[in-house]
Structure 1
C-alpha cells in the first residue's frame, strides 16, 4: 500500500469517527479511525463525488 497522508479524524456525535486520506498516486482513502490498515480505496474524484452527494442529501435515506 502507498504512503497515505491521513487527515485528522472526523467524529460525528463523539463516537463515530472516520478519516480521509490521499496518496501520491491519486488515490483517496476512507477508514474508520483506528482501522487505517483496512481502508476503502478509490480515486480522488470518486471521493469528491461521494462527498458532494452526501452534502446534497442524496444519502439521507441510508441513515
Structure 2
C-alpha cells in the first residue's frame, strides 16, 4: 500500500468518525477512524464527486 497522508478524523453525530487521505500518486482514501488499514480507494475526483452528492442530499437513501 502507498504512503497515505491522512487528514484529522471527522466525527459526525454519534461519534461516527472517518478519515480522508491521499497518496503521492493522486489516489484518494476514506476509512473509518481506527481502521485506516482497510480503506476504500478511488481517484481524487471520484471522492470529490461523492462528497458533493452527499452534501447535495442525493445520497441520503444510502444512510
TM-score after normalising by structure 2: 0.94
**Quick one: distance in 2 between partners of 1:38 and 1:61?**
24
Counterpart in 1 of 2:2? 2
Counterpart in 1 of 2:45? 45
The 5 A counterparts of 1:26-41 are: 26-41=26-41
The secondary structure found in structure 2 opposite 1:42 is strand
How many aligned residue pairs are there?
Answer: 63
Select the structure that is richer in helix. 2
Q: Gaps spanning 5+ residues in structure 2: where?
A: none
**Quick one: distance in 1 between partners of 2:60 and 2:39?**
23
- CA-based RMSD of the aligned residues comes to 0.8
Structure 1's consecutive aligned runs of 4 or more residues displaced over 4 angstroms after TM superposition are none
The 5 A counterparts of 1:13-24 are: 13-24=13-24
Q: Gaps spanning 5+ residues in structure 1: where?
A: none
The secondary structure found in structure 2 opposite 1:47 is helix
